[in-house]
């Protein structure tokens, strides 16, 4: 294939085996097609050596930064190198000596292999000195060895979970929910919310556990004015000032943008085809205002932000450069329904899902394929389920493996998960589903509780297993226990109670309860399924996990299971 020109506008960062930059080279061929290939700086050195070219490559690193993650990367140096590499390649394409060389054509046709030995010249350019880089190496190694266990803390949980009583050793980051964008492009808090936030920050920072508190802005039903707030430079400036002012006023460790969702109606929100582009501009300004030390995160769905064409973006590297984390909302995949399905699938383990893009495994693949680093992802884990009025005894749309499919081998080979503990005695029950069965796909979301519902006391000790008051709704895990459908065993796990039968769906790796006489099915997550998802997050190199939300736990039982799977005490 013959090429006429190249551009290098985008890049991403990778963490393994050490932090380094990957440049995306877009090569225009004579037939008008553009081929994108991923290259390290050392690939350009290899090309130059192969060609025997005497021209000088763009400036190499000035300082040794082999240990530094993208948080310390110097964007201006990366931009300088991209411009220089673009000029270098275009010079080769104009050269009579090199333009038809097969090595140059091969370079522009194929991405470099991931197994290629990392060269120090591939490392992230930074203005840090070698001494400063070495000083943070131990800190980075400790962070890498200790994945993050985070959780959302809704303001309406303060009565049942007072900030002063929380065990902060269980949480590395607490996302306080919610503030909301308002019609003036500022942010608003519900009545009494700022008082709770102050108490949470004080208790967390005084705990001695290093727990960070991040303000979450938005949520389901709280995202009405996001599109407006990022739509113009003046609106963005006001919004950035409001967010950064909140960080200073309440001594916060960062901001979480929980926009549900850019270029999508969500809960009936105004939206625009320019939302995702405007979001990036906003995040860039917010990062500039907050500096590199503060957390900026975004709660996201299984797929990258929707572009102007309504399809998921194929390159989100620019977002990754500004964000500390994305919080993947791997839940609400299937809500309450007459044909219940899994709330939060680990994966499409049998290849039979009607929603193959909606699982932890799929989300990881979709975001990393678009250039978002694994070590900036927190996998969202639900501490709630759904109660369906149904007589089904299996889960719809995903629950039936094809004949001869070995789920256990798949778990071990692809997901790196161990054989399930034999203590778990879940009868595996299956029944056929029809193509016409109802599909109730919600996509991940963080529901806000109304003022009326705030302060409602959690029911305890009803104990007879009657969950009919929850038909069609979410139910907290601690409510399933309190109402008698599950009971805690002496080994810290939970078993069926109240006339329910516990089933296990191999194909999504999730438990469920059913009681045909009550016409009740409960889809939820327990210590086993949360363990598997957290173990998966660690195995694929994610930063860790977050839960929605900590007030729905049965004490700290579920959080303890998650922490154990992450390798934390």
Token reading at 419: 């054989």
Q: Which two tokens stand for residue 399?
A: 């629950």
* Nearest Cα to Cα of residue 240 among 278, 213, 191, 197: 278
Q: Which residue spans within 40-98 are E strands per DSSP?
A: none
Helices 360-369/527-539 angle, 10° precision: 20
Contact yes or no for 107/47 (Cβ under 8 A): yes
Q: In this predicted structure, what is the pLDDT of residue 74?
A: 57
With 0.75 as the threshold, say if the pTM is over it: no
Structure tokens at 296: 């900026």
Taking each helix axis from N to C end, the angle separating 275-290 and 233-249, rounded to the nearest 10 degrees, works out to: 40
Q: What is the pLDDT of residues 410-469, one digit of tens each?
A: 555 445 554 443 223 233 332 333 334 444 445 567 775 544 444 444 444 457 899 999
> Coil, strand or helix: which one is 297?
strand
Residue % of the chain over a pLDDT of 90: 63
By the 8 A CB rule, do 536 and 379 touch? yes
Q: How far is 38 from 28, CA to CA, in rounded Å?
A: 15
Q: Calculate the CA dihedral of residues 241, 246, 247, 251 and round it to 10 degrees.
A: 150
Q: Which helix (H) or strand (E) holds 487?
A: strand 486-488
Q: What are the DSSP calls for 392-442, one per residue?
A: -SS-TTT--PPTT--HHHHIIIII-PPPPPTT-----------TTS-----
Sequential DSSP letters for 141-159: HHHHHS-EEEEEEEGGGTT
C-alpha to C-alpha distance for 14 and 18, rounded to whole angstroms: 8
Distance CA 391, CA 376 (A): 41
**Separation of alpha carbons 454 and 492, rounded Å:** 30
CA dihedral 140, 141, 145, 151 (to 10 degrees): -10
CA 109/CA 447 separation, integer angstroms: 46
CB 124 within 8 A of CB 73: yes
Q: Where are the domains of the chain?
A: 3-140
Q: Which helix (H) or strand (E) holds 179?
A: strand 173-181
Q: Which tokens sit at 32?
A: 């008008």
d(CA 136, CA 66): 11
CATH 3.30.1520.10 fits 3-140, yes or no: yes
Is the peptide bond prior to 540 cis by the omega test (within 30 degrees of 0)? no
- Which parts of the chain have pLDDT scores under 70? 14-19, 59-76, 113-145, 397-444, 448-462
């Amino acid at each position: 294939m013959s090429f006429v020109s190249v551009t290098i506008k985008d890049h991403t960062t990778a963490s393994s085996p050490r932090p380094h930059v990957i440049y995306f080279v877009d090569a225009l061929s004579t037939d008008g097609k553009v081929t994108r290939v991923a290259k390290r700086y050392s690939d350009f050195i290899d090309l130059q050596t192969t060609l025997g070219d005497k021209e000088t490559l763009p400036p190499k690193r000035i300082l040794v930064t082999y240990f530094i993650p993208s948080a310390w990367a110097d964007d201006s140096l990366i931009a300088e190198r991209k411009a220089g590499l673009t000029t270098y390649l275009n010079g080769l394409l104009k050269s009579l000596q090199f333009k038809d060389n097969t090595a140059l054509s091969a370079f522009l046709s194929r991405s470099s292999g991931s197994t290629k030995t990392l060269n120090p010249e591939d490392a992230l350019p930074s203005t840090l000195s070698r001494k400063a880089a070495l000083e943070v190496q131990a800190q980075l190694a400790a962070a890498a060895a200790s994945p993050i266990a985070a959780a959302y803390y809704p303001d309406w949980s303060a009565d049942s979970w007072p900030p002063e009583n929380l065990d902060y050793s269980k949480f590395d980051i607490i996302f306080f929910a919610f503030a909301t964008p308002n019609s003036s492009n500022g942010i608003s808090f519900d009545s009494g919310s700022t008082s709770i936030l102050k108490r949470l920050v004080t208790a967390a920072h005084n705990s001695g556990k290093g727990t960070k508190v991040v303000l979450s802005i938005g949520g389901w039903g709280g995202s009405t004015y996001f599109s407006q707030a990022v739509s113009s430079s003046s609106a963005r400036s006001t919004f950035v000032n409001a967010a950064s002012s909140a960080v200073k006023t309440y001594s916060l460790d960062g901001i979480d943008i929980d926009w549900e969702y850019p270029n999508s109606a969500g809960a009936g929100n105004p939206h625009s085809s320019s939302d995702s582009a405007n979001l990036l501009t906003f995040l860039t300004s917010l990062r500039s205002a907050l500096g590199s030390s503060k957390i900026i995160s975004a709660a996201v769905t299984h797929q990258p932000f929707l572009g102007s064409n309504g399809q998921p973006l194929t390159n989100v590297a620019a977002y990754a450069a500004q964000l500390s984390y994305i919080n993947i909302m791997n839940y609400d995949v299937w809500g309450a329904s007459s044909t219940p399905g899994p709330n939060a699938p680990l994966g499409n383990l049998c290849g039979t899902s009607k929603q193959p893009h909606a699982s932890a495994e799929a989300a990881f693949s979709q975001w990393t394929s678009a250039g978002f680093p694994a070590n900036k992802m927190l996998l969202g884990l639900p501490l709630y389920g759904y109660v369906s009025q149904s007589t089904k005894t299996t889960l719809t749309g995903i629950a039936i493996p094809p004949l001869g499919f070995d789920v256990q081998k798949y778990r071990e080979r692809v997901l790196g998960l161990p054989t399930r503990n034999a203590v778990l005695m879940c009868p595996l029950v299956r029944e056929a589903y029809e193509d016409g069965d109802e599909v109730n796909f919600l996509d991940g979301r963080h529901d806000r509780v109304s003022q009326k519902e705030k302060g409602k006391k959690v029911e305890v000790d009803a104990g007879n297993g009657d969950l009919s008051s929850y038909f069609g709704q979410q139910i907290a895990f601690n409510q399933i226990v309190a109402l008698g459908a599950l009971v805690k065993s002496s080994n810290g796990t939970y078993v069926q109670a109240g006339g329910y039968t516990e089933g296990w769906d191999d194909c999504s790796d999730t438990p469920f309860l059913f009681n045909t006489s009550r016409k009740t099915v409960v889809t939820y997550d327990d210590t086993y399924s949360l363990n598997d998802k957290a173990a998966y997050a660690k195995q694929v190199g994610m930063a860790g996990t977050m839960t929605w939300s900590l007030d729905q736990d049965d004490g700290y039982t579920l959080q303890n299971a998650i922490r154990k799977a992450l390798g934390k005490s």
